[in-house]
Chain A
Amino acid sequence: MTHMLTATDLSAAYSGIHALRGVSLAVSEGEFVALIGPNGAGKSTLLNCLSGVVRPTGGSIRFNGEELVGTAPWHVSRKGLLQVPEGRQILANLTVRENLELGATALSGRHSAYTLERINNLFPILAERREQRAGSLSGGQQQMLAIGRALMGGPRLLLLDEPSLGLAPVIVVQVLAALRSLNAEGLTILLVEQNARQALDSTDRAYVIEQGRVVHEGVSSELAKDPAVIAHYLGQGKTAKH
């Protein structure tokens, strides 16, 4: 099977600290893959390498057969590898509509399956609050806007960095449900989460990363039963501690 995204032996360093030490992972078209692990394991660094924000010190990233290492982040986005960054990073002083319009920059002439209408159906609140400042939205609504903005850019692969961060549990459930329905309609997703239990419940496959290395990988439902994973990341059947 050919993969949509393949990262091979990826390493990265921040001011001398090795954030990634030879990570390899692959995502196939239509998959919903989770990347879990403790704080500081290198999950965000990995996503930022994929997006071109951080330049890896070694290894290769291939997206639909094309090498991405060294590509500017805006070009990576325009190829349809789109990231919903940690902390949402919506533009608070711009309106909801302007935030969504900005997202469409990444299309740069490509065709997108995600029209404004489809995004409004997925998150009706965005249509209601069209002309309001994005900063006036609640945290959950801002997360929906951040996802909507990435969808406007016509993603072929959507990366999400901790979408549940700082959200009420009931909102997290809604956001994950929206991601599952997007995946069911054909969107390939790579989800980074600290909330391991919920991430494993929602996804097909998962990678567990620790200290810059992949320590476990496999089918999500099986990892959720793996004693080693339970002991380290899932606690005694409870949600993993942040």
Chain B
Amino acid sequence: MLAQQLLNGLVVGGVYALFALGFTLVFGIHHLMNLAHGAVFMTGAFVALYSVLAGLPLWVSFVLAVVGCGLLSILIEITAFSRLRKSGEAEFGAIISTLGADLFIMSFAQKISGSDILRFPFETFPVQIFQFMGLRVTLLQLFMAGSAVVLMLVLTCYLFRTTLGTRIRSVSANERAAVLSGVNPHVVYYQTFFLSGALAGASGVLIGLAFNSIQFTMGEPFLLRGFVVIVLGGMGSIPGAMVGGLLLGMLQTLTAAYLPSGLTDAIIFSLLFVILLVRPYGLFGKETAGAMRAQR
């Protein structure tokens, strides 16, 4: 029973990690918080759902949601960040402007869905259950875990193994030096925002499929949990977001399984409090908060 709960937690945690990775990527590279990240996540679930309802196959809907959310995220960069960056007021201004973007996207989704809870049609994802050493694993869970692993690998390879990734990290570390070396920082902004949005979109689809309850407000608790994950792991740390996401997923599943249901959030935020007391920079964070580290 415990092993089963841990497995379920691990799967959900993988998706949390994906979501938090996108959030921490923008923070780690641009030192700015995108509070519309939860709305992008919700948009991912919406795009996939409406595409499936329109008769498209699930995999096409998934790709549409991922790419669409990447583009939406670039739009957020253009509308909510780039102008503030020029004025030098981005750090605090962006909290307001991205909150605005968040509300805008949510109202739009509310208008479309009429505030209803939407569901994928039955068997959108084939229901198939495997028994494995006494554990019960669904095909959907395998798909979720697989997607999380693949997307994380793609992201790390992109950042740490390609020239484009080197440029992204150089803008993160010292934008002026990067610019003098011929790097166009706007291209880097678009890339990181696209990656960030695509990860949010992917996690939105996966969570939408897993809980099959899609609503325009579904991004809000995730934004809060994404916060917990990156504070837990260390602001801007990529391995921190991965480990933090897995930890949060397991913790949440375990508390929900063994303790009264109302206690889950209380326990998560108490844990966050304790961790901040003991390690103010998070598990993987360094004192130079925000600076994304090249080492893994």
Chain A interface (Cβ < 8 Å from any Cβ of B): 51, 53, 72-74, 77-78, 82-83, 85, 89-95, 98, 101-103, 105-108, 133, 149-150, 153
Contact = CB atoms under 8 A, between A and B. Distances in A.
Contacts of B87: none
Given A94-B294, A101-B163, A102-B166, A53 B183 contact: no
A74 B182 contact: yes
Given A74-B183, A101-B166, A106-B182, 14 more contacts: A72-B184, A74-B179, A77-B182, A82-B180, A85-B180, A89-B176, A89-B177, A91-B170, A91-B174, A93-B291, A95-B294, A98-B169, A102-B167, A102-B181
A38 B112 CA distance: 65
B119 interface: no
Nearest to A73: B179
Given A89-B174, A91-B173, A91-B174, A77 B166 contact: no
B274 to A, nearest CB: 29
Residue of A77, A101, A102, A150 most packed against chain B (CB within 10 A): A102
A153 B181 contact: yes
A23 B74 CA distance: 41
B178 interface: yes
A83 B166 CA distance: 19
User: Chain B interface secondary structure, helix, strand, loop or mixed?
Assistant: helix
B180 A94 contact: no
A72 B183 CA distance: 10
Contact of A93 (B178, B180, B183, B294): B294
A24 to B, nearest CB: 24
Interface of B: 163, 166-167, 169-170, 173-174, 176-185, 291, 293-295
A143 B180 CA distance: 15
Contacts of B184: 72, 74
A102 B180 contact: no
Contacts of B177: 85, 89-91
A98 B166 contact: yes
A90 to B, nearest CB: 7
Residue of B169, B177, B183, B295 most packed against chain A (CB within 10 A): B177
B293 A93 contact: yes
* A-B complex: 5 closest residue pairs judged by Cβ atoms: A106-B182, A89-B177, A77-B182, A93-B294, A105-B182
